[in-house]
Amino acid sequence: MLLKVRIVTRFILLALATGFLGACGSSPSEVVSFIPPPSSVGLRSGDGIVVNLQSIPDAASMPVQIDDQGFISLPYIGQVEVAGLAESEIAQKVRATYVEQRIYPAIDVSVSVTQRFIHVGGEVIRPGRVLWSPNLTLNKAIQEAGGFSLYGKKSGVLLTRDSQTYVVDVKSALRNPDKDFKVYPGDSLNVPRSPY
């Protein structure tokens, strides 16, 4: 009897939590057939770039990674906030900082991206960051994370992009490659646990 009460209580709590989250818009429940591309192509924390300083006596090519606060650190000028900016915008900001601080009267700066990532979590073999490439899709990203675990729910993968979360059916994308969405830098995939 006590076991039945516990099961019923858990079911009610789960139903209430699911209803509450659904009402808040935090937990989507419908599988989508279209996901808009990201609104910004700006770089994010964890992305790797190379900053080239030229037309100066001590020209340099510096590989740096954007830290968790969105900054990179460069000689003489220290921390520069770059998260959310495109490569050309970063180059312009770095150049302006060197000139404004009178480190160099003139300098040429170029920026190139070396590494961008997406995050794959939940019920996969190796959750964590996956190196992004222009042809990376949902299925390929999950395979890079070792594939689904034994309990991974293939028909309810959550993709978060631009603070919006979408439910995607990766199982159908395995059968029909046209349904295999491209992923973009900064995307986050979460494979939920199947109830059975």
* Per-domain boundaries in the chain: 23-40+116-191, 48-115
Q: What is the pLDDT of residues 51-86, one digit of tens each?
A: 999 999 989 999 999 998 999 999 999 999 999 999
pLDDT at 152 over 70: yes
| Domain spanning 48-115, CATH class | alpha beta
**Tokens 């979460």 found at:** 190
pTM for this one? 0.69
**What is the sign of the dihedral through the CA atoms of 145, 149, 154 and 158?**
negative
Do 149 and 15 contact (CB within 8 A), yes or no? no
Rounded CA separation 99/104 (Å): 5
Q: Go through 48-67 and write b for each residue having 16 or more CB atoms within 10 A of its CB, e for each that does not.
A: bbebebeeeeeeeeeebebe
Is the separation of the CB atoms in 53 and 62 below 8 Å? Answer: yes
- Provide Rg for the chain, Cα atoms: 22
Predicted pLDDT of residue 172: 85
Does the structure show a pLDDT above 70 at 27? no
How far is residue 141's CA from residue 180's CA, in Å, rounded to a whole number?
11
194's tokens: 């199947």
| Structure token digits, residue 188 | 């986050």
Encode pLDDT of 166-183 as tens digits: 999 888 888 888 778 899
CA distance 116 to 43: 8
Q: What is the pLDDT of residue 133?
A: 92
The answer to whether the CB of 114 falls within 8 A of the CB of 157 is no
Task: Enumerate the β-bridge partners of residue 55.
Answer: none
User: Which CATH number fits the domain 23-40+116-191, given the four candidates 3.20.20.70, 3.10.560.10, 3.40.50.300, 3.10.20.30?
Assistant: 3.10.560.10
Alpha-carbon torsion 131, 132, 135, 136, what sign?
positive
- Least confidently predicted of 105-114, 138-147, 178-187: 178-187
Give the list of residues 6+ apart from residue 158 with CB closer than 8 angstroms, or none: 28, 122, 165, 166, 167, 168, 189, 190, 191, 192
Same CATH fold, 48-115 and 23-40+116-191? no
Q: What is the pLDDT of residues 129-139, one digit of tens each?
A: 999 998 999 99
